[in-house]
Amino acid sequence: DVKVTQSSRYLVKRTGEKVFLECVQDMDHENMFWYRQDPGLGLRLIYFSYDVKMKEKGDIPEGYSVSREKKERFSLILESASTNQTSMYLCASTSPATSGPNTGELFFGEGSRLTVL
Amino acid sequence: QQQVKQSPQSLIVQKGGISIINCAYENTAFDYFPWYQQFPGKGPALLIAIRPDVSEKKEGRFTISFNKSAKQFSLHIMDSQPGDSATYFCAASIFGNQFYFGTGTSLTVIP
């Protein structure tokens, strides 16, 4: 069964703390994404990566950074957490249309709910 | 700027009724239009998807209608069931490299 695993389902952090959200996929996907989900705003793209060690900014990258040292792992980092970063964070992966058996399907993890106090 | 606009934000339907959710887009380069279903506490999961070379796709009780000239697509859920109560997201993608999501529709099916 294919899987995108987010290591932390629920986190509570204090303002100013550094936060790491880890995501691992077992489908050998090239593309990985971090989204933020807020009520009424849908899913907003924070960062994405097409390959190891590369990253691209999404629509709302401010206050976030990412790391992709291995193909299967994509980490989201909040250098100094703030209360407005309280949200649900979703990791996803897919293969691009130009390689492999591609259905175009984006596979999501279960989400990490972060509360910043 | 929202690349994909979705409506309504919430929807209440009686069991057995038809649920309809609408989406619109501007970028004609989009080549893949999926719908995702999300239950509370879970990540979104692919429900059904369509490519722009067809006008309709049906899988069981779920149908996507696609109007390329109007740049609109919609999800129809026939014979809606309480188990269909979830949040639904439409999306549009270019070659699987970029996905743009609508703001979501919270569907409640009343028994």
Q: Which residue of A has its CA nearest to B7?
A: A40
* For residue B73, pLDDT beyond 50: yes
Helices (H) and strands (E) in chain B, counts: 0, 11
Q: What are phi and psi of A59, to 5 degrees?
A: -85, -25
Q: What is the pLDDT of residues B13-42, one digit of tens each?
A: 999 999 999 999 999 989 889 999 999 989
Nearest to B50 by CA among B35, B62, B39, B37: B35
In chain B, pLDDT over 90 holds for what percent of residues?
Answer: 83
CA dist A14 and A16 (Å) reads 6
Pairing of strands B33-38, B45-50: antiparallel
Check if B60 contacts A (Cβ < 8 Å): no
Confidence (pLDDT) at B14: 98
C-alpha torsion angle, residues A99, A101, A102, A108 (rounded to 10): -110
CA dist A104 and B91 (Å) reads 11
Confidence (pLDDT) at A103: 59
Which of B23, B39, B99 to mutate to probe the A interface, most A CBs <10 Å? Answer: B99
Q: Which residue of A has its CA nearest to B104?
A: A42
Query: Is A31 within 8 Å of B9 when comparing Cβ atoms?
Result: no
Helices (H) and strands (E) in chain A, counts: 0, 11
Mean pLDDT value of segment B40-66: 94
Which residues 11-30 of chain B have a CB within 8 Å of chain A?
none
Confidence (pLDDT) at B98: 80
- Nearest by CB to B96, which of A41, A43, A96? A96
Confidence (pLDDT) at B17: 97
Mark the ranges of chain A whose per-residue pLDDT is less than 70: 1-2, 97-104
Check if B96 contacts A (Cβ < 8 Å): yes
Task: Provide the shortest C-alpha distance from residue B78 to chain A (in Å).
Answer: 23
Three-class DSSP labels, B10-50 = EEEEECCCCEEEEEEECCCCCCEEEEEEECCCCCCEEEEEE
In terms of pLDDT, which residue wins out, B52 or B61?
B61
CA dist B19 and A55 (Å) reads 39
